[in-house]
Amino acid sequence: MAGPASKSLRERWLTELTDLPTASGRESAVQTWVRGWAVKRGLDVTEDRAGNLLLRPRTRNRRRPIVAVAHMDHPALVVRRTGRRTEVELRGGVLPDYLIGARLQLETSGGPKPVALQEFDPDTSRGWLAGEDLGADAGDIIRWAFPSGSLGIQGPRLQARACDDLAGAAAALATLDRLALAGVANFWVLLTRAEEVGFVGAIAACELGTLPAAARIFSIECSRQSSEAPLGGGPILRVGDASRIFSSELTNRVAEIVRGEDIPHQRKLMVGGSCEATAFVALGYEATGMCVALDNYHNMVDIDGVRAGKRRARLGPEAIALADFHGLVDVLAVVGQRLDSGKSNLPTRLKRMYRTERSVLGQV
């Protein structure tokens, strides 16, 4: 196995992953990259029948698995039908105002090709590209085109085509690499497909039994920033999402471990959307969530201003703070090492407090 990854190497993985073309059901470029990465880092990778990838150290043990889950897809257009006209389908949550007139690129084997969306029906999420006989094939990905100078590491931030959720995948993989080298054999990574169209890969993993029933799951995401959860404020321990509260005992234990290690972090109920922890909890697993704050969620610049009619809709690179990314790796690593060592000390602290202060109650 290769030696420990430096921060610069982790950032290289991060920039490479977040630049790959991907869409729900069309994640092959990411799958190929991950398989090659796993071979170089001496890790096992297996694929379930849904195409989800499970990565593990080659050393096995009987401890309950701790599994970091991230998804491999990002909102994009996918070619449905070709011919004189090219029909496309939007897979993922992007407001229609952002699509018409946007600079787009068709990903082909010969390289990206500029295209434009001529028509779009938000009720069906389908439309047509401008022009005829564009040389597209069914299943081709069309993603947003950005100037190369706007992408990559820009000071303290990464600006990328698809931070959500390939930055989460990069953090999970970097943690797996770190813990495997430290001899932690029960920390795994599950990379899922088609999250953007309804957690389809995560649900499939539950239905197929891809993970043992005893697994503890950390859903890793990039979640829309807010004034309460800003970029640069540290990795975020999620209490829940827009759909539900996560497994409380696991969530509380994670927070206690991270506080004890004095790692800068935030603890928030992120209600801007739902994540795969919701699916895993609803289908019987013990799960919680972690994320980093994301600017230009789903590449939509100033979504609040656009909704209020104050800004023109335009697409831009997503962005995260590099410090948050590295902090998330630190959080995952310490939790992966300490989750099974010891129990919560909160009951002991509460009883000590009671013994010290119960005199204020009189005769008890």
Show the DSSP H helices in the chain as ranges.
7-17, 28-40, 163-181, 200-208, 248-260, 276-282, 303-307, 322-338, 346-357
For position 1, what pLDDT does the model report?
56
Distance between CA atoms of 249 and 255, rounded to whole angstroms? 10
Distance between CA atoms of 168 and 218, rounded to whole angstroms? 11
Query: In the numeric block, which tokens belong to residue 121?
Result: 């029906």
Distance between CA atoms of 298 and 316, rounded to whole angstroms? 9
For position 89, what pLDDT does the model report?
97
Query: In the numeric block, which tokens belong to residue 186?
Result: 């029960």
Hey, what CATH topology would domain 7-74+151-338 get? Aminopeptidase (3.40.630)
For position 109, what pLDDT does the model report?
83
For position 30, what pLDDT does the model report?
98
Hey, what CATH topology would domain 76-147 get? Elongation Factor Tu (Ef-tu); domain 3 (2.40.30)
Same fold, 7-74+151-338 and 76-147: no
Amino acid at 104: L
pTM above 0.85, yes or no: yes
Closest CA to 256 of 183, 346, 330: 346
Q: Where are the domains of the chain?
A: 7-74+151-338, 76-147
For the beta carbon of residue 358, count every other beta carbon within 10 angstroms.
11
Q: Would you write out the chain's pLDDT as a tens digit for each of its 364 residues?
A: 567 789 999 999 999 999 999 999 999 999 999 999 999 999 999 999 999 999 999 998 889 999 999 999 999 999 999 988 999 999 999 999 999 889 999 998 888 999 999 999 999 999 999 998 888 999 999 999 999 899 999 999 999 999 999 999 999 999 999 999 999 999 999 999 999 999 999 999 999 999 999 999 999 999 999 999 999 999 999 999 989 999 999 999 999 999 988 889 999 998 888 899 999 999 999 999 999 999 999 999 999 898 888 889 999 999 999 999 999 999 999 999 999 987 767 777 888 888 888 889 887 7
Query: In the numeric block, which tokens belong to residue 347?
Result: 């009951």
